[in-house]
Amino acid sequence: MTTSTFQRARSHEAKQLRLNEILEAARALGTEHGVGNVSLTDIAEAVGMHKSAMLRYFETREQIFLILTASAWQAWAEDVTKRVKRSGDMSPKSVASALAKSLGNRPFFCDLLAHAALSLERHVSLDAVRTFKFAALDSAYAIATQLQECASLTQRQAIDTVTTATSMAGALWQMATPAPEVLPLYQSDPRLSHVVADITPRLASILENLLLGFGVTNRASR
């Protein structure tokens, strides 16, 4: 689509369709190229708009990706709670595996997690940050509540588990997806080959040990 095809949305329904179109274009570009490599101009071109016209719908590119992050949080929370409910084994290994697999299956979400506090919460209004934060908190507490019920964790431990899972997923994903110009170095030296690896088993191991530690603490306090 080219910018010459753009027509300004005037009705509420047309504007909502345009908003969704912009968000989906940003999602596709971010998935393909990485969130940090997508500019507002890239998104505008993808939907046949001029950059200045895009600003009628969103404050900045950061707001677009912050909205997508909130949506990804909600989708992840729904998936995790279903995984935990389906599992009959609530051992630390099983819970850690459910969390890690769910995040490992969402590379775009992991990418967004890595950028959220670092850059996406900047260059946006306080209202935009507030909306995102409460959406993320609602999702985090939904998962934490499920972990409290099924894995015998305190509320603080459950929240810390969710926080560790998401923060480590973002960090591990960034390490596992180096810039194209750096990738040959990692691939050429066995001492660096561990960096570019599936994040799921590494994340599962971290979370399992965290949960084992919480178990020891809880048994000792009885």
Note the pLDDT tens digit of each residue in 74-91. 999 999 998 887 877 789
Candidate CATH numbers 2.40.30.170, 1.10.357.10, 3.30.2310.20, 1.20.1050.140; the one for domain 60-220 = 1.10.357.10
> What tens digit of pLDDT does each residue of 208-219 get?
999 999 999 988
Predicted confidence (pLDDT) per residue in 93-105, tens digit: 999 999 999 999 9
Taking the C-alpha atoms of residue 43 and residue 54, their distance in angstroms, rounded to an integer, is 9
> pLDDT tens-digit profile of 93-147?
999 999 999 999 999 999 999 999 989 999 899 999 999 999 999 999 999 999 9
Q: Where in the chain is the domain with CATH 1.10.10?
A: 1-58
What sign for the dihedral angle of Cα 152, 155, 157, 158? positive
Q: Delimit the CATH 1.10.357.10 region(s) of the chain.
A: 60-220
Tokens (6 digits) for 129: 């940050």
Q: How many CB atoms lie within 10 A of CB 95?
A: 25
Residue 196 has pLDDT above 50, yes or no: yes
Residue 94 and residue 12: Cα distance in Å, rounded? 46
167, 146, 171, 175: which is closest to 210 by C-alpha?
A: 167
What gap in Å lies between CA 193 and CA 211, rounded to an integer? 28
Q: Domain 1-58 falls in which CATH fold?
A: Arc Repressor Mutant, subunit A (1.10.10)
Task: State the Cα angle at 72 between 100 and 83, rounded to 5°.
Answer: 40
Would you place residue 2 in the very low, low, confident or very high pLDDT band (cuts 50, 70, 90)? Answer: very low
What phi-psi label fits residue 154: left (phi over 0), alpha (psi between -120 and 50 degrees) or beta? beta
* Residue 9 clears pLDDT 70, i.e. is over it: no
pTM of the model: 0.87
